Amino acid sequence: MQRIGVLTSGGDASGMNSCIRAVVRKAIYHGIEVIGIKRGYSGFIEAEMYPMNLGSVADIIHRGGTILHTARSERFKTKEGRALAMENVQRFGIQGLVVIGGDGSFTGASIFHQEYGIPVICVPGTIDNDIAGTDYTIGFDTAVNNVVDAINKIRDTATSHERTFVIEVMGRGSGNIALAAGLAGGAESILIPEIPFNVQDICHKLLSGLKRGKLHSIILVAEGAASGLEIGKQIKELTGLDTKVTILGHLQRGGIPTAFDRTLAARLGAKAVELLKDGETNKMVGIKSGEIVATDLTEVIGQPKSIDKEMYELAKILSI
């Protein structure tokens, strides 16, 4: 293995830069050249590629987002698009590929490997933490901390005005961000897509708290479970409580990555290079019980990741 390519694809996640840095510097350490591919698979097709050196990744470990930029590519989903990407593989002499992204990005990498035999190693980078085969994905911890910070600030206002606040968070079809942030932030109710809920039960809990002197409440809603606006409307109609809604949106994605995300990204990026160097392919690097592991992409792509129900039950108990 003399030259590899690295790209980030799908939604950005804080910590991706730390992973890019690790890939570049670990590869150079082993005498392997690195080609940076900009804007994900779109840049792969358009030949937006350039050689990276030690200086290319200097002073980026603390920066959110990705210096390689990211984009979604419909063209890469076609054989014609992947054929153009293969032409660039040959043009730049790429012998292996590190793909940092989520399930869709992994699918593209696996298909590309199957069609052309190019070794690929995938690294889970998504705030949603919805990838099987790993306990954590790059960006999840930072996103959770961003949400907790927002909860803390909103709680100040909720207390001052004696209001109920509904906060909608990201996560696509996963409730991991809502659950982790809700437990850490002391939310009174956490609504996630993995577990059915009843708005009337939530209202009963709110009114019971009001009777015993509770002056405010925080309801955390995962976007895959329901609309925060709709939940807020229903609560106000059923209880008459002064209810406000905040949709956090994309501010959850950005910001300085946490130490955990930086460390995780560095470990996963370095392992990805090691696997390519050792002749491995079509695998994802992840973390299980603190250990870095490699899992076949066939066991990862499209596989559901279950929610931690014990954590959910604990959050319910502590929010009484």
The pLDDT tens digits for 41-61 are 999 999 999 999 999 999 999
Q: Do residue 45 and residue 23 come from a single domain?
A: yes
11 is in an annotated binding site: yes
Closest to 19 measured CA to CA, from 113, 146, 121: 121
Q: Do residue 275 and residue 197 come from a single domain?
A: no
Please state, in angstroms and rounded to a whole number, the distance separating the CA atoms of residues 67 and 170. 23
Q: Do residue 126 and residue 10 come from a single domain?
A: yes
- Give the pLDDT score at 212: 87
Of all residues in the chain, what percent carry a pLDDT higher than 70? 100
Torsion of CA 4, 7, 13, 15, to 10 degrees: 30
Confidence of residue 143 (pLDDT cuts 50, 70, 90): very high
Classify strands 291-296 and 283-288 as parallel, antiparallel or unpaired.
antiparallel
Average pLDDT on 293-303 reads 97
pLDDT beyond 90 at 128? yes
234 is in an annotated binding site: no
Residue with tokens 């590899």: 4
Q: Do residue 169 and residue 83 come from a single domain?
A: no
Please state, in angstroms and rounded to a whole number, the distance separating the CA atoms of residues 247 and 154. 12
Q: Is residue 47 part of a domain?
A: yes
Residue 15 belongs to a domain with what CATH number? Answer: 3.40.50.450
Q: Do residue 172 and residue 248 come from a single domain?
A: yes
Residue 159 CB coordination number (10 Å): 11
Closest to 261 measured CA to CA, from 176, 143, 153: 143
278 is in an annotated binding site: no
Of all residues in the chain, what percent carry a pLDDT higher than 90? 95
Give Cβ neighbours of residue 96 (< 8 Å, ≥ 6 apart).
1, 3, 4, 5, 118, 119, 120, 121, 276, 281
Q: Is residue 320 part of a domain?
A: no
Which structure tokens are listed for 260? Answer: 């955990």
pLDDT tens across 17-30, in order? 999 999 999 999 99
Q: Do residue 153 and residue 195 come from a single domain?
A: yes
- Give the pLDDT score at 225: 98
82 is in an annotated binding site: no
- Give the pLDDT score at 271: 98
Q: How many domains does the chain have?
A: 2
pLDDT, mean over the chain: 96
155 is in an annotated binding site: yes
pLDDT tens across 53-110, in order? 999 999 999 999 999 999 889 999 999 999 999 999 999 999 999 999 999 999 999 9
Q: Do residue 114 and residue 77 come from a single domain?
A: yes
pLDDT beyond 90 at 276? yes
- Give the pLDDT score at 72: 87
Residue 246 belongs to a domain with what CATH number? Answer: 3.40.50.460
- Give the pLDDT score at 213: 85
Triad 56, 294, 300: Cα angle to 5°? 100
Tell me if 4 sits within 8 A of 96, measured CB to CB.
Answer: yes
3 is in an annotated binding site: no
End-to-end C-alpha distance for the chain, whole angstroms:
57
Q: Do residue 62 and residue 206 come from a single domain?
A: no
Residue 310 CB coordination number (10 Å): 8
Closest to 219 measured CA to CA, from 130, 136, 211, 236: 236
Q: Do residue 211 and residue 164 come from a single domain?
A: yes
Q: Is residue 99 part of a domain?
A: yes
**Domain that includes residue 293, residue range:** 3-139+257-299
Q: Which helix (H) or strand (E) holds 8?
A: strand 3-8
- Give the pLDDT score at 162: 86
Q: Do residue 98 and residue 233 come from a single domain?
A: no
Active site (catalytic) residues: 128
Tell me if 302 sits within 8 A of 284, measured CB to CB.
Answer: no
- Give the pLDDT score at 298: 96
